[in-house]
Chains A and B, each alone.
Chain A
Amino acid sequence: MKKNSNIKNILIQNNTYIIFLGLFIICSIVSSSFLSVMNIRNIALQQAAPICVVLGMLFVILTGGIDLSVGSLMALGSAVTSYLIVNKNMHFVLAMLISLVIGLLAGTFTGILVAYANFQGFVASLAMMTIARGFALVVTNGSPIRMEKDTLGTLVEKSYGYPILIITLIIIIALIFVQKYTAYGRIVIALGSNITAVELAGIRVRKYLVSVYTISGVLATLGGIFVAARSYTGSGVIGEGQELDAIASCVIGGASLAGGKGEVFKAVIGALVLALIGNIMNLMAVPAYPQDIIKGCIIIVAVLLQIATDGAGKKS
């Protein structure tokens, strides 16, 4: 009997992977084109941006905060990069770097509001969400900016080994390392558990609080640049609702919005679960609106499983 409950615990604790595997298998069965190289590659290229955004969000969520500005920062990244390339004739790498610095500053500003001015993360990032969206629309003047394929498009070139995939992979691996093996990763989780105890243990909690919003800002901007690269277009309207998808991905990946709980790799899988749901339904030609219904239901299931996980953990 004990063995049975062990297996059950393992299943419950790895529910993110199981949901992912299940969906993967269903996809393979439902559509013969799912397992094609082209489809998988498309999913990967498509998901590079959301994954970056999710990872930034995860670090904020780990501290018990939330960052609603990521969607708007994607738009800002997309808009500024394309504007600099097209209107200022800038090299795309330099344009990217400038955008990333802007994302960094925006995230840091949100973080400072949270850590030093005692704003709630929700409110501070809500303000930043509006500001960044406004800037993105100002920069693009409300209409898309088309770029030549050989500029930012280089990031999605097969001949260069799909740079956005490589960058995303490096980010994932780096963040897994940071979370598991560094004092920084440890402190981020600790902040979400009990910020007072961490402060009294001699850790400058504010500095760390700011830093997670900084990371989120940079990664969200990078996600926006990826979207622009894939479509050869800069736009001030992309990323709407992306913050909610990012939060959902973290939750499906087992993160707790109360902070202190969540893993980088699982959050990535969480993002892929959402992606698969979209993909499977596209392959089955389900219209867009019902997709949202199913997406919502999956979130509920994921959270129910999470609650079951907590229960199982307590009993053992």
Chain B
Amino acid sequence: MQETKYRLEMRNITKHFGGVKALTDVSLRVEPNEIHALIGENGAGKSTLMKILSGAYKKDSGEILLEGNPVNITNPKEAKELGIAIIYQEFMLAPDLTVAENIYIDQLAAGKATINWKELRSKAKEQLAKLGFDDISPTEKVGNLSVAYQQVVEICKNLTRNAKVLVLDEPTAVLTFSEIQKLFEIVRKLKSEGVSIIYISHRLEELFELSDHITVLKDGGYVDTVETASIDKNKLVTMMVGREMSQMFPERHAEIGEEILRVENLNAGKMVKNVSFSLKAGEVLGFSGLVGAGRTETMRALFGADPKESGKVIYFGKEVDFKSPLEAIKNGFGMLPENRKEQGLLLAQSIRMNSTLTILNNKIAHAGVINHKHEKEYVKELLASISTKYGNTEDNADSLSGGNQQKVALAKWIAADCKCIVFDEPTRGVDVGAKVEIYNIMNELAAKGVGVIMISSEMTEIIGMCDRAIVMRQGEITGEFTNEDINENTMIKAAMGV
């Protein structure tokens, strides 16, 4: 056994899928008691590397050392036994079982004839208390918990397996601001208890707040490992994309025109209370706030996806009341939904079919009959105009990377010639390069005189992109800022109600 200061070392890992090189000579060294951030654009190889660590994939070459000892991980069970735990974005929880049952699901599955439920519950309670969550009842069904609490349960479950290396894959993507703070506390606590944490996230702010070291991957290759304290955001982004941060938010040359939308005292359910705002042609209007502040609900009500209770909507000078998305689209009002997999895309259908869903009865069809040749050409042009990378228009949408999936989801709104488009979290789960491209698309739309509304939970995005920003909190508008007044300080205050 050799002396080492590293808990985990992955050396020169290489992995091919068929003819495609997914990883080339990638290395990762994680110390005990550290939070090690792993970043890179989508497709940079983070997930592949972690799947090799977890035994889900087999590496072609390279070696993995735990505490200096070479280990051979060939399946997820072995990884688990070695103390490597991975928490994916989608939790591996059984929603109909209780918290305690989920935490000790291994023991339930161990084949013992009887289980000491009392002991199981008290052990679960103890584990939860260790993380500072004694308010979670071990007998509650997991399906009834909030996403944040489910994550706590998932972490607990993995800790009971004596995890020495804990990988968190985009853990904050689904959490609200205060929940994120709680998660950070847990992560720091685990670190102090000697767990090595590998933290994957697209949110740079988080990495700077949490991590000790950052390893950057790019296009399946290893770029560098740096001490977090020694680097700033600009440099980090440059390392990731070979591009300066200032170029992240491209300049917009849009002329702000007439008012196209005015909403007065809109009420819709519990999440939308007396919302009033307006939007001008060529303007990019941001909607900031915490998750669950009522932003999506406001837009869904305007779009006709949810019913309105009261209020007035004036759209291009006329009072309107869209009762369904169809009515909204007929009037040129589009909405890119926040969850592309669940609401935006037909994942198992072709890119072509996805792109033309909004124009089936006009642009590409006559009397209900589709002209395939015309459609194909139209789609190619459409996708090229928003620089989408894809193999063939007939490939399924799920064959694309996150960023390109988002562009395909967006394509149908561009096809529909919308005069006003709501982008709901357009860059969630999208890599930095694709983010910039999506910003570009929004800018181009604005330059054409389209009114753009962007809902985003990323403050930097709102600050970088918007002419005006509205902050919502618990269903109400709590602040409106223009140009230089749009900053993190004022917006957080409005969002938190202080």
Structural contact, B325 and A181, CB atoms closer than 8 A:
no
Stretch at the interface among A22-30, A197-205, A297-305: A197-205
Give the residues from 298 to 325 in chain B that come closer than 8 angstroms, CB to CB, to chain A: 303, 305, 324-325
Structural contact, B344 and A181, CB atoms closer than 8 A:
no
Structural contact, B337 and A186, CB atoms closer than 8 A:
no
Instruction: In the A-B complex, list the 9 residue pairs whose CB atoms are closest, starting with the nearest.
Output: A202-B329, A193-B346, A183-B360, A202-B326, A201-B357, A202-B325, A194-B346, A201-B358, A183-B368
Most buried by B among A189, A194, A260, A261: A194
Structural contact, B325 and A190, CB atoms closer than 8 A:
no
Other A-B contacts than A183-B369, A189-B353, A202-B358, 5 sampled, CB-CB below 8 A, are A183-B365, A193-B348, A200-B343, A202-B330, A315-B18
Most buried by B among A202, A260, A315: A202
- The yes or no answer to B173 lying at the interface (CB within 8 A) is no
Given contacts A187-B360, A190-B346, A260-B346, contact A200 B369 (CB under 8 A): no
In Å, the complex CA distance between A25 and B224 comes to 64
Give the residues in chain B near A313, CB-CB below 8 Å: 396
* Contact digits for A173-187, partner B, Cβ 8 Å, 1 yes 0 no: 000000001111011
- The yes or no answer to B213 lying at the interface (CB within 8 A) is no
Min distance, Cβ A209 to any Cβ of chain B, angstroms: 15
Given contacts A183-B365, A186-B353, A186-B370, contact A197 B344 (CB under 8 A): yes
* Contact digits for A276-316, partner B, Cβ 8 Å, 1 yes 0 no: 00000000000000000000000000000000000001010
- The yes or no answer to A196 lying at the interface (CB within 8 A) is yes
In Å, the complex CA distance between A200 and B329 comes to 9
Min distance, Cβ A62 to any Cβ of chain B, angstroms: 11
Which one of A184, A190, A196 contacts B368 once the chains associate, using CB atoms below 8 Å? A184
The closest CB in chain B to the CB of A189 belongs to B349
Structural contact, B369 and A199, CB atoms closer than 8 A:
no
Structural contact, A203 and B326, CB atoms closer than 8 A:
yes
Min distance, Cβ A177 to any Cβ of chain B, angstroms: 8
In Å, the complex CA distance between A198 and B305 comes to 12
- The yes or no answer to B342 lying at the interface (CB within 8 A) is yes
Give the residues in chain B near A184, CB-CB below 8 Å: 368
Structural contact, B361 and A183, CB atoms closer than 8 A:
yes
- The yes or no answer to B254 lying at the interface (CB within 8 A) is no
Which one of A183, A189, A260, A315 contacts B370 once the chains associate, using CB atoms below 8 Å? A183
In Å, the complex CA distance between A181 and B374 comes to 12
Min distance, Cβ B100 to any Cβ of chain A, angstroms: 32
Give the residues in chain A near B368, CB-CB below 8 Å: 182-184
Given contacts A190-B357, A204-B326, contact A181 B372 (CB under 8 A): yes
The closest CB in chain B to the CB of A184 belongs to B368
- The yes or no answer to B419 lying at the interface (CB within 8 A) is no
Give the residues in chain A near B407, CB-CB below 8 Å: none
Min distance, Cβ A303 to any Cβ of chain B, angstroms: 17
- The yes or no answer to B412 lying at the interface (CB within 8 A) is yes
Give the residues from 42 to 100 in chain B that come closer than 8 angstroms, CB to CB, to chain A: none
In Å, the complex CA distance between A190 and B303 comes to 21
- The yes or no answer to B148 lying at the interface (CB within 8 A) is no
The closest CB in chain B to the CB of A310 belongs to B348
Structural contact, B348 and A181, CB atoms closer than 8 A:
no
Structural contact, A181 and B346, CB atoms closer than 8 A:
no
- The yes or no answer to B345 lying at the interface (CB within 8 A) is yes
Give the residues in chain B near A261, CB-CB below 8 Å: 348
- The yes or no answer to B328 lying at the interface (CB within 8 A) is yes
* Contact digits for A199-226, partner B, Cβ 8 Å, 1 yes 0 no: 1111110000000000000000000000
Min distance, Cβ A174 to any Cβ of chain B, angstroms: 12
* Contact digits for B440-476, partner A, Cβ 8 Å, 1 yes 0 no: 0000000000000000000000000000000000000
- The yes or no answer to B145 lying at the interface (CB within 8 A) is no
Min distance, Cβ B20 to any Cβ of chain A, angstroms: 12
* Contact digits for B333-348, partner A, Cβ 8 Å, 1 yes 0 no: 0010100001111111
Structural contact, B348 and A197, CB atoms closer than 8 A:
no
Give the residues from 347 to 380 in chain B that come closer than 8 angstroms, CB to CB, to chain A: 347-349, 353, 357-358, 360-361, 365, 368-370, 372
